[in-house]
Amino acid sequence: MGFCEQCGTPLSSSAKFCRSCGNEVVETKVAAAQGRVGVSSQIQPTTNLNFVRRNCTNCGHTFSGPPNTSIECPNCAFWVSVTSATTPSSLISTKKKHKTTSVILAIFLGPLSWLYSYSIDSKKFWYSVLAIVVVAVLETFISPVFSVLNFLIWLWSLVDAFAKPGAF
């Protein structure tokens, strides 16, 4: 077993590309003579924290590479541009929404609870806002009987919150 000449990641004897940085493993005379093609035993493992995660636009493979350079995908040999570097996972909110929170918000806030899950419930939110405005106009100019519709909108948001899966 040897190490990548660029980043120092340990390599298997059959590796053609570094699995960490995507660097092509260069065959050396010493390694070829020993039957260990493409492995350099002189480089010691190091940690390179400047690498960025990339997604291959051709095959979807995720791998690391140096920043601000195009690099060849180690899986399919497709050249991946600088712009395909992925955003660090620490900057992306991957927290799931919880049904319990949605139900509590629906009980106290009615249709405003759809702001909690706006990415999937935006249409419901805007339909309820429109309905509330229409009900307010009808209550004001025609009859207070239309206030029952506000209860039905609140009930709709509550039933919708209970119908959600445990985490969404």
Co-location of 104 and 86 in the same domain: no
Whether residue 125 lies inside any domain: the answer is yes
Helix (H/G/I), strand (E/B), else coil: 2:
strand
Co-location of 67 and 30 in the same domain: yes
For 50-88, the pLDDT digits (tens) are: 677 777 777 777 877 777 777 777 887 777 776 544 444
Co-location of 55 and 137 in the same domain: no
pTM: 0.44
**Is the model more confident about 141 or about 4?**
141
**Phi and psi at residue 21, in whole multiples of 5°?**
-110, -10
pLDDT at 144: 86
Co-location of 85 and 110 in the same domain: no
Task: Find the domain containing 118 and state its range.
Answer: 99-163
pLDDT at 113: 93
Is the predicted pLDDT of residue 168 greater than 70, yes or no? yes
- Select the highest-mean-pLDDT range: 21-25, 43-47, 121-125: 121-125
Helix (H/G/I), strand (E/B), else coil: 45:
coil
Co-location of 147 and 119 in the same domain: yes
Co-location of 104 and 84 in the same domain: no
CB neighbour list of residue 51: distance below 8 Å, 6 or more residues apart: 7, 20, 21, 64, 65, 66, 67
Whether residue 111 lies inside any domain: the answer is yes
Co-location of 75 and 29 in the same domain: yes
Co-location of 78 and 106 in the same domain: no
CB neighbour list of residue 29: distance below 8 Å, 6 or more residues apart: none
pLDDT at 27: 60
Co-location of 33 and 116 in the same domain: no
For 87-141, the pLDDT digits (tens) are: 444 444 557 888 999 999 999 999 999 999 888 889 999 999 999 999 999 999 9
